[in-house]
Structures are given as C-alpha cells and as structure tokens.
C-alpha cells in the first residue's frame, strides 16, 4: 500500500476530521500516533483501530498542542515507538469567539509549534529524511466569516504560514512538502457547537446560517471519501516530490 513503512502524527485525532485522517492513513498502510487531550475517546479509538488494523499500528498520546513540551514528548515517543516521523497533520482546532485567545494559541500557534518540531526531525539539511506536513485550515481561511473574526484570522494565518514555509522549504532544500487543507462545513462536534461560541458576534449567525444552507454540510463519511484521494496524492513520499 502507498504508505507502507511510513509513520504519521495527527493532532486532535480522537474524533471528527482528525479521526477521519487517521483512518485513511491506516487504511493505506501507515502507522499513526493519535495526539489529543481526550484520553477516554483516544484510548477507545486505538482499541477499535487495533482490532481493525492489527497491533502496533496506532498509538494514543495525550497532548495539548498549546504545550510545546507535550508536543516534543509526543514526537519523541512516536520516534522511539515507530522509528521516525514521515507525515505530520496539524489538525487540532477549536471554534470559540468568547475564549478567542485560546482559539489563537490552539489553531495558529499549535500549528506553528507542530510544524517547527517536524522541521527539526524531518529537515534533510540536518540529517532528517524529509517528509510531508498537512495543516488543516478551512474555507474560512480563504474568505472571512462575519460571525467569527478570530477563527477566520487563525485560519487565514494557517494558510499564510503554510505558504511561506513551503517557499522556504523549496528554496532551502528541507525535503519537506507542506499543504493546507481547507474544508467547508463538516458535521462534527465543533460544527454542532458553533452557535453557542459566537459571543459578541451572535447577531451574525443568520448570515452564516444562510451560507451553511447554500453550501450544505458534509457528513464525515462523505468528507472522508473525498479526502482519501487528495491525502494520498499529498502524502505519497517519492523522491521526485521532495
């Protein structure tokens, strides 16, 4: 399979889009470290995935992406257990215009911290074997949503950071390919909770609801089906890509 022998790290992977990404990676032969703060669901997911894919394929590691120390420890444990890191997916994210500083530290700073840690491990200029980074942004990173200025800012930031890092990688020869994934509306716990997280912008909920009705909401199953081909195209590590 396309990702046999490869090791992936996925943040915020216990549920939702992150879990969907984990399942695609496992189905295509990769070993996966599932990083999340939800230990109960995370361990339960590994139990389920181990029954489906066999032992030593999936591992849960508690990690708050706001903590550089916890990210470092999770990366180190992954390397010790699976022998290296070839793919990183910075997926962990929240939607909250009330605790907006946290939205920034998780969505944007967590992605930057993960990317810089992956650079330390993957960089061919410092003995690494190269790799692939996927940063989960959003269509809100392409066009602003009036109900969530800070969430919109974090996703615009993720896209800008990803594009800049990609240019640096090509110019420097890191051997790291990096892409931003920009989903539309997907039925997850985050999506279900947005109405209660708008804070001072709750008056904008109508505009967003109109957009939701116009664009529709993907089920996680439909999202996974559409993501598989794209994820394989992006993650297949062949020399002529890096």
Ligand X SMILES: NC(=O)C1=CN([C@@H]2O[C@H](COP(=O)(O)OP(=O)(O)OC[C@H]3O[C@@H](n4cnc5c(N)ncnc54)[C@H](O)[C@@H]3O)[C@@H](O)[C@H]2O)C=CC1
Ligand Y SMILES: CC/C=C\C[C@H](O)C(=O)/C=C/C=C/C=C\C=C\[C@@H](O)C/C=C\CCC(=O)O
Query: Which positions are annotated as active-site residues?
Result: 151
Q: Can residue 138 be called a binding residue for ligand Y (CB under 6 A)?
A: yes
Give the C-alpha distances (Å, rounded to integers) separating 238 from 6, 51, 135, 233.
Answer: 12, 30, 20, 11
Of 80 and 213, which has the nearer Cβ to ligand Y? 213
> Could you list the residues that contact ligand X (CB under 6 A)?
11-12, 14-18, 36-38, 63-66, 91-94, 106, 136, 138, 183, 185-186, 188-191
Distinct helix (H) and strand (E) counts, the chain: 9, 6
Q: Which does 211 bind (CB under 5 to 8 A by kind): ligand Y, ligand X, none?
A: ligand Y
Contacts of ligand Y in 199-218 (CB under 6 A): 207-208, 211, 215
Interface size with ligand Y, residues (CB under 6 A): 19
C-beta of residue 51 within 8 angstroms of C-beta of residue 74: no
Of 91 and 169, which has the nearer Cβ to ligand X? 91
Q: Which does 194 bind (CB under 5 to 8 A by kind): ligand X, ligand Y, none?
A: ligand Y
Of 76 and 99, which has the nearer Cβ to ligand Y? 99
Q: Which residues, 6+ apart, have CB-to-CB distance to 96 below 8 Å? A: 102, 103, 151, 197, 199
CB of 167 vs ligand Y, minimal distance in Å: 24
CB of 208 vs ligand Y, minimal distance in Å: 5
Of 11 and 28, which has the nearer Cβ to ligand X? 11
Counting Cα atoms < 13 Å in the Cβ hemisphere of 85 gives 27
Q: Can residue 148 be called a binding residue for ligand Y (CB under 6 A)?
A: yes
Tokens of 55: 């032992």
Give the C-alpha distances (Å, rounded to integers) separating 32 from 76, 114, 221, 233.
Answer: 14, 16, 20, 18
Q: Which helix (H) or strand (E) holds 211?
A: helix 205-215
Of 16 and 175, which has the nearer Cβ to ligand X? 16
Q: Which residues sit opposite 181 in a β-bridge?
A: 136
Q: Which does 17 bind (CB under 5 to 8 A by kind): ligand Y, ligand X, none?
A: ligand X
Q: Across the chain, which distance is largest between two alpha carbons, in Å? A: 52
Is the C-alpha dihedral spanning 192, 114, 154, 200 positive or negative? positive
Q: Which does 205 bind (CB under 5 to 8 A by kind): ligand X, ligand Y, none?
A: none
CB of 141 vs ligand X, minimal distance in Å: 8
Q: Can residue 82 be called a binding residue for ligand Y (CB under 6 A)?
A: no
Q: Which does 68 bind (CB under 5 to 8 A by kind): ligand Y, ligand X, none?
A: none
């Amino acid at each position: 399979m396309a990702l046999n022998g490869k090791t992936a790290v996925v943040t915020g992977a216990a549920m939702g889009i992150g879990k969907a990404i984990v399942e695609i990676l496992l189905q295509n032969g990769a070993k996966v470290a599932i990083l999340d703060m939800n230990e109960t669901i995370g361990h339960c997911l590994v139990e389920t995935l181990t029954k489906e894919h066999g032992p030593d394929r999936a591992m849960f590691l508690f990690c708050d992406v706001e903590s550089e120390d916890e990210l470092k420890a999770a990366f180190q444990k992954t390397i010790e257990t699976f022998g290296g890191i070839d793919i990183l997916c910075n997926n962990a994210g929240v939607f909250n215009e009330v605790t907006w500083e946290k939205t920034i530290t998780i969505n944007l700073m967590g992605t930057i911290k993960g990317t810089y840690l992956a650079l330390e491990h993957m960089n061919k200029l410092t003995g690494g074997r190269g790799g692939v980074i996927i940063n989960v942004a959003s269509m809100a990173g392409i066009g602003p949503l009036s109900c969530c200025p800070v969430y919109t800012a974090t996703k615009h930031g993720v896209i800008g950071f990803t594009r800049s890092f990609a240019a640096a990688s090509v110019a420097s020869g890191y051997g790291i390919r990096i892409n931003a994934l920009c989903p539309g509306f997907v039925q997850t716990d985050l999506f279900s909770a947005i109405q209660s997280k708008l804070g001072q912008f709750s008056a904008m909920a109508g505009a967003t609801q109109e957009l939701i009705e116009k664009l529709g909401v993907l089920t996680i199953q439909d999202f996974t089906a559409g993501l598989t081909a794209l994820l394989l195209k992006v993650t297949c590590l062949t020399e002529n890509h890096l």
